[in-house]
Amino acid sequence: MTLDVKRILVLVLCSGLCYPATALELFGVTLESTTRDELRAAGEQAGLVLIREGGEDNWFDLYDSAAVLDGSSRFYLGFLKQDQRLAFAEYEFRGFGRKRLLRDLKTKYGAAEVKVGRFFSDRSYFWQRDGVEIELSTDWQNYRTRLIYRVPANMSELIAEMSARNKPQKTEGEQVSLY
């Protein structure tokens, strides 16, 4: 190899490594730092059709996603009630045949961490990008495949919010009896 070819190869390799990494996005919105209203608007603009909006008693929005991601039927968006940060976004697919989706995810996010279940077909695939966990798994009981984007810290807070909300409150005069 000539010196010029070596220099070009080094420049090409360095230029690929020197570009800043882009944040994980969904509908053009950065997942780790998005708010409820921002992601709702972007999702609806992308073609999600609202079925039910989350509110006081609902912890997530529910959308028809058939027009957004081929083969998907539902899309769920879960947010913290306190400050409207994203906890999770989930696509739901009917059935189990998602080889093309898995291939596309591997192309986009690289090699997955594979967790094998009791049976060969009980595999789940995981990626970690920009503070967001991505999971492709099979929900055998409901005959569904799920693609979940989860912000772990926010998801923990969402679970805590749900637990606090659902915990029965003791009244002042309430007594505990062992009989």
At 10 the pLDDT is 35
pLDDT number for residue 32: 83
Residue 18 reports pLDDT greater than 90? no
Average of pLDDT values for 149-158? Answer: 90
CB 106 within 8 A of CB 129: no
Using a pLDDT cut of 70, give the percent of the chain over it. Answer: 79
More confident residue, 59 or 31: 31
pLDDT digits (tens, 9 = 90+) for 101-127: 999 999 999 999 999 877 766 789 999
Question: How sure is the predictor about 15, in pLDDT bands with cuts at 50, 70 and 90?
Answer: very low
Q: Is the pLDDT of residue 176 over 80?
A: no
Q: What digits encode the pLDDT tens for the residues 43-58?
A: 999 999 999 998 777 8
pLDDT digits (tens, 9 = 90+) for 76-93: 999 988 888 889 999 999
- Residue bearing the bigger pLDDT, 170 or 125: 125
Domains of the chain are 31-162 (3.40.1000)
By CB atoms closer than 10 A (0-12, 13-18, 19+), residue 174 is exposed
Q: Residue 97 in contact with residue 54, Cβ under 8 Å?
A: no
User: Tokens for 130?
Assistant: 């920009």
Q: What is each CA distance from 177 to 168, 174, in whole angstroms? A: 17, 10
The pLDDT score that the predictor gives to residue 20 is: 36
Cα separation, 176 vs 142, in Å, equals 40
**pLDDT for the residue 82:** 85
Q: What is the pTM of this model?
A: 0.77
pLDDT confidence band for 2 (50 / 70 / 90): very low
Residue 2 has phi, psi (to 5 degrees) of -80, 165
Q: In this structure, what are the phi and psi dihedrals at residue 69, rounded to the nearest 5 degrees? A: -130, 115
pLDDT above 90 coverage of the chain, percent: 44
